[in-house]
Amino acid sequence: MTQTTLTLVVAMTVDDQERIKAGDRYTAGDRLAGAVSQFCNKHAFPYSDTFVSIGVFDGNVPTNNNVRLYALKLGSLIGKPGVLAHLNIEIVLDDIEVVAEGDFQDIASNGHAADKNPNDSSRRYVKKIHLVAGDTAQRIAALLAAARSVLNPHYAEARMFRPLVKGDIQHYEVA
């Protein structure tokens, strides 16, 4: 695979990191799963309750980015540092199915609210979610396009609809 500027990370706690290192699997969750699921189903986007939220960046993760801040917040909840798991692109790329130009849950839940409001349109939210398909170059291009469409401290979020495992991770970074 050719060298790219694509960086994929997952924010987690040190406890999550230790569980993965021990062989456990990691998944995320949506607080607004019903709204997200309904929006995705209505607009033909893939959705599963089993997924991993992946921060997508063109280059390094900025120090003041929301993904890094989220990892710090997770860590502060348990009194330990937050962690960014940098993913091995060659391993996870084919499993990434969708990318959003921002926080996936926020976009989908706002789109769901717009779908229910006769005075609003969800079109602006639908335009912010993209399928990730094709060969390696096409998948990388789709992810980078989403990452380049948002400004720091925001981020693009991709989703992989399977658990994260030890072999998916290239290295860890304390947030």
- What pLDDT is recorded for position 2? 43
pLDDT band at 107 (very low <50, low <70, confident <90, very high): very high
Strands annotated E in 105-155: 129-131
| Pairing mode, strands 169-174 and 156-160 | unpaired
* Contacts made by residues 48-51, CB under 8 angstroms, sequence distance 24+: 48/161, 50/161, 50/162, 50/163, 51/27, 51/159, 51/160, 51/161, 51/162
Report d(CA 129, CA 122) in Å as an integer: 12
Strands of the sheet with 96-100, listed across from one edge: 129-131, 96-100, 156-160, 52-58, 6-13, 82-87, 169-174
Residues 175/68, Cβ–Cβ less than 8 Å: yes
Q: Is the pTM of this model over 0.75?
A: yes
pLDDT 10s digits, 114-173: 988 877 788 889 999 999 999 999 999 999 999 999 876 678 999 999 999 999 999 999
For residue range 71-106, list pLDDT tens digits in order.
777 667 767 778 899 999 999 999 999 999 999 999
Nearest to 107 by CA among 16, 5, 59, 36: 36
Please work out, in degrees rounded to the nearest 5, the angle formed at the alpha carbon of residue 96 by the alpha carbons of 157 and 68. 30
Which three-class secondary structure state does DSSP give residue 139?
Answer: helix
| Structure token digits, residue 16 | 């999550």
